[in-house]
Amino acid sequence: MKKYAWNLGYLSYREMYKLGAKKTPANQTTNLIKVHQNFHSHIPAVFINDQVIGLTSLLFCRWKNPELKNQKETPYTQQGRRLYQQRTGKASLLPRKDEWLAGHLRQKQLYGQHNSLYTFEYFLNRAYAFNRDKGKCRICGKQLAQNDIDFHHVRPQLPAYMLNRVSNLASICISCHNTIHSTVPPQGSAKFNRKITRMREKLSLESHKVLMERRMRRKSHVRCETREKGRRTAHKCVRGRPLPIVAMSTTSVANATIRYIASNVDTLPPPF
């Protein structure tokens, strides 16, 4: 190696000398700093725009004997995983807690939460999000329990193929999840309030607030809306107008029509 390194260095210096090259210590060059900083040998270098560009020597190359494959080092046994961890220094992956998260799945099924947010990818990636967060709430930091766990979509406005990725899921407790989706100012420490505010900003709380108010109004006034639609339908029916398309059952429309006719029998026009 020394013979070839010396011959190559001499030939390169002879050619580079025509361009104004000089012998310069390797640790004073500005290229390949991680390699040259450990050597003080002189190498041919040229000076271009306040930059010292040196030609690396073959003697700077270090060859390391590779380790042989240990047949006991395998990811399928506990001993093999321990050997891999000792050799690489990497922490072993946590096992998936699908059985531990079965209660969360039953909770979603019980309340009928089967919209586009809760897909197969969501139930598959929630275990990875739980291990990433080390089983702790991302907001308050407490240890999560089987009956007190939920997974929050950080940005629900993302497209479907990015919605349920691990990076968009946050494992949090139920109380913190309700606080994120509420409009009440958070009451806690400064760190807690800052996390809640950041989550709400990513959630686009204004549009979410309008949606939640619309749902609550629809649930609380569903009977009043049904009666009002029934009165309008009956009034148009007795006057010979075409029936509008309304989101009501046939029984509800019939009952509303009968009640309207019975209460206004004296004021109705003749049928012909």
Where are the domains positioned within the chain?
2-60, 102-215, 221-263
Q: What is the pLDDT of residue 242?
A: 42
Tens digits of pLDDT across the chain (272 residues): 677 888 888 888 888 888 888 888 988 898 888 888 888 888 889 888 888 988 888 888 877 788 888 899 888 888 988 888 888 887 766 778 877 888 777 777 666 655 667 888 888 899 999 999 989 999 999 999 888 899 999 998 888 888 899 999 999 999 999 999 888 888 889 999 999 999 998 886 545 454 555 555 555 544 444 445 445 544 454 444 444 434 444 445 555 555 655 565 555 455 44
Q: What is the pLDDT of residue 68?
A: 86
Q: What is the pLDDT of residue 140?
A: 92
Q: What is the pLDDT of residue 224?
A: 46
**pTM of the entire predicted model:** 0.46
Q: What is the pLDDT of residue 213?
A: 57
Q: What is the pLDDT of residue 192?
A: 92
Q: What is the pLDDT of residue 61?
A: 80
248 Cβ partners below 8 Å, 6+ apart? 226, 229, 230, 233
Q: What is the pLDDT of residue 217?
A: 56
Q: What is the pLDDT of residue 154?
A: 92
